[in-house]
């Protein structure tokens, strides 16, 4: 075996990716729980962990750029590094949006919710599973799992339209709900975007394995 | 690792007759790292490398001003040349094994330095070959002529020969330019291993090689050091425009 030190650096990159993925997973999971339980403490925690994730993103970015500059990566090595560079942006955005949800959760935590949350947690759970699955597909380099992620994006989009319509109706019937309903509107928009980022991750996993990048959702 | 810098030069100038090949070179080379010198042909990088263990002593009309310190002592004033070269070994562009057995190639240096015990020499030969990642390939044919080895193996033998005298520094002047890509990568891996115990200073025409293996890089141009620093920094965001032009292939 040759190129030991390059392989070691690639392994280090991979383990940082796994670490970042774990933190992102935790963020989205906690942001959903905090929203459901109106848990300010947990929401704050999500909000604060965003900095750690941002730091990891720049650390990984630097490693990738140095590897490209110094190791002349080719074929699967080049794909692995480009994939990492692309995926961290999506992971960072997911964490940002989880933090945004946490921020809204804190804002409306003291109020009684205008409606029992049923579809939003349902959508949140689906999105969370999508994120977990996309990260899993990256770690295992499993394209079947990656394709499942892309397929579930339609379900998210349907729920999004359904919830938005429901919120519009609530606001029409009772203008006093506008403030909170708008916040929920943002929450579902963030969730919908997180689903898109999970899809992006899955698409990059397919690229990493097969060498071709297609938009699958 | 007794001190941070093993080699320090101060305002080093070197003339070949009227031609000034090095101009005021002042750098500190850290121990237990790989330091690479890059630059176009004739930029002075090999000349500079040779000043470190006084290989220029043999060239007529060479005049040197300024200082080179190795472990705090002046290389040109305070060292006996044999002692200096025992501590600063060198590997050259073309593998140059002696026309003798693999074993004798490695044992040659230690024997000259007075080691006679068979078992001690056996140990040195084995350890040196292990440390140069050649042992497994040659352990069953130590008594065969070294010239029968492949070019890549010969070069690792030359590295083993240097290691046998336990130097502190290993200078390498284009050590892989005569080797195939796989042998090259083997030597590169070896440098990564060796730096735990030695300080490696390498001159290379292959810029990508410097990028792959070195911790610190110096870019030479017209006898001067244009830029000297962390390899990551130098190859991803050089400070000097001339370095940028050279490493991006837009030179001249």
SS3 sequence, B87-133?
Answer: HEEEECCCCCCCCCEHHHHHHHHHHHCCCCCHHHHHHHHHHHHHHCC
Strand partners, B7: B29, B70
Residues in chain B closer than 8 A to A66 (CB atoms): 232, 235-236
pTM to 2 decimal places: 0.83
What is the distance between the terminal CA atoms of chain A, rounded to a whole angstrom?
Answer: 40
Mark yes or no for CB contact B236/A3 under 8 Å: no
- pLDDT at residue B2 is higher than 60: no
Residues in chain B closer than 8 A to A6 (CB atoms): 212
B232 touches chain A (CB under 8 A): yes
pLDDT level of residue B242 (50, 70, 90 thresholds): very high
Spatial CB neighbours of B118, under 8 Å, sequence gap ≥ 6: none
Q: Which residue has the tokens 């942006």?
A: A89
Chain A nearest CA to B237, separation (Å): 10
Considering only alpha carbons, which residue of chain A is nearest residue B207? A70
Chain A nearest CA to B212, separation (Å): 5
- pLDDT at residue B179 is higher than 90: no
| Cα three-residue angle B210-B53-B134, rounded to 5 degrees | 55
Q: What is the per-residue pLDDT across A10-39, written as a single tens digit (0 to 9) for each?
A: 999 999 999 999 999 999 999 989 999 999
Positions of E strands within chain A: none
Q: What is the per-residue pLDDT across A50-102, written as a single tens digit (0 to 9) for each?
A: 999 999 999 999 999 999 999 999 999 999 999 999 999 999 999 999 999 99
Q: Rounded CA gap, B226 and B184, in Å?
A: 27
Indicate the average pLDDT of chain B. 93
Counting one residue from A and one from B, how many pairs have CB atoms under 8 Å apart?
33
Residues in chain A closer than 8 A to B236 (CB atoms): 65-66, 69
Q: What is the per-residue pLDDT across A130-177, written as a single tens digit (0 to 9) for each?
A: 999 999 999 899 999 999 999 999 999 999 999 999 999 999 999 999
Environment class of A66 (CB within 10 Å of its CB; exposed 0-12, middle 13-18, buried 19+):
middle
Q: Rounded CA gap, A105 and A161, in Å?
A: 21
* Greatest Cα pair distance in chain A: 70
Q: What is the predicted pLDDT for the residue at B1? A: 41
State which H helix or E strand residue B57 sits in: none
Strand partners, B171: B90, B201
ipTM of this model?
0.76
Average pLDDT over residues B173-189: 90
pLDDT level of residue A1 (50, 70, 90 thresholds): low
Q: Which of A3, A65, A71 sits opposite B189 (nearest CB)?
A: A3
**Which of B235, B247, B248, B249 has the most A C-beta neighbours within 10 Å, making it the best mutation to test the interface with A?**
B235
Residues in chain A closer than 8 A to B213 (CB atoms): 5
Considering only alpha carbons, which residue of chain A is nearest residue B217? A70
């Amino acid at each position: 075996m040759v190129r030991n030190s390059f392989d070691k650096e690639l392994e280090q990159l991979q383990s940082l990716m796994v670490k970042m993925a774990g933190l992102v997973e935790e963020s989205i999971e906690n942001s959903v729980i905090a929203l459901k339980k109106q848990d300010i403490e947990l929401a704050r925690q999500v909000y604060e962990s965003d900095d750690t994730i941002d730091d990891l993103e720049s650390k990984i970015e630097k490693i990738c750029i140095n590897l490209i500059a110094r190791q002349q990566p080719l074929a699967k090595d080049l794909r692995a590094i480009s994939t990492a560079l692309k995926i961290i942006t999506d992971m960072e955005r997911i964490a940002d949006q989880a933090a945004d949800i946490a921020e809204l959760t804190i804002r409306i935590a003291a109020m009684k919710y205008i409606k029992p949350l049923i579809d939003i947690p349902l959508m949140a759970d689906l999105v969370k599973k999508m994120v977990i699955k996309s990260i899993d597909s990256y770690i295992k380099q499993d394209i079947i799992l990656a394709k499942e992620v892309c397929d579930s994006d339609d379900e998210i989009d349907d729920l999004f339209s359904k919830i938005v319509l429901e919120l519009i109706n609530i606001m029409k019937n009772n203008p006093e709900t506008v403030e909170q309903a708008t916040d929920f509107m943002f929450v579902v928009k963030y969730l919908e975007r997180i689903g898109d980022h999970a899809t992006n991750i899955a698409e990059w996993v397919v690229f990493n394995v097969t060498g071709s990048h297609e938009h699958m959702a | 690792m007794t001190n941070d810098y093993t080699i320090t030069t101060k305002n080093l100038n070197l003339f070949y007759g009227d031609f000034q090949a090095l101009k005021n070179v002042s750098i500190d080379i850290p121990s237990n790292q790989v330091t690479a010198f890059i630059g176009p042909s004739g930029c002075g990088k090999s000349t500079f490398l040779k000043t470190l263990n006084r290989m220029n002593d043999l060239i007529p009309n060479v005049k040197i001003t300024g200082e080179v310190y190795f472990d705090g002592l002046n290389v040109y004033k305070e060292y006996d040349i044999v002692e200096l070269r025992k501590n600063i070994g060198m590997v050259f562009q073309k593998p140059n094994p002696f026309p003798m057995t693999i074993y004798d190639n490695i044992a040659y240096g230690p024997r000259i330095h007075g080691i006679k015990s068979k078992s001690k020499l056996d140990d040195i030969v084995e350890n040196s070959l292990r440390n140069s990642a050649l042992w497994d390939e040659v352990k069953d044919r130590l008594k065969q002529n070294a010239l029968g080895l492949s070019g890549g193996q010969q070069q690792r033998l030359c590295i083993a020969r240097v290691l046998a005298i336990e130097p502190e520094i290993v200078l390498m002047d284009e050590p892989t330019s005569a080797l195939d890509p796989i042998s090259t990568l083997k030597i590169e891996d070896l440098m990564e291993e060796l730096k735990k115990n030695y300080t490696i200073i390498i001159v290379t025409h292959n810029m990508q090689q410097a990028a792959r293996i070195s911790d610190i890089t110096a870019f030479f141009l017209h006898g001067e050091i244009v830029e000297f620093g962390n390899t990551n920094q130098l190859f991803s965001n050089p400070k000097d425009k001339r370095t940028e032009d050279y490493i991006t292939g837009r030179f001249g």
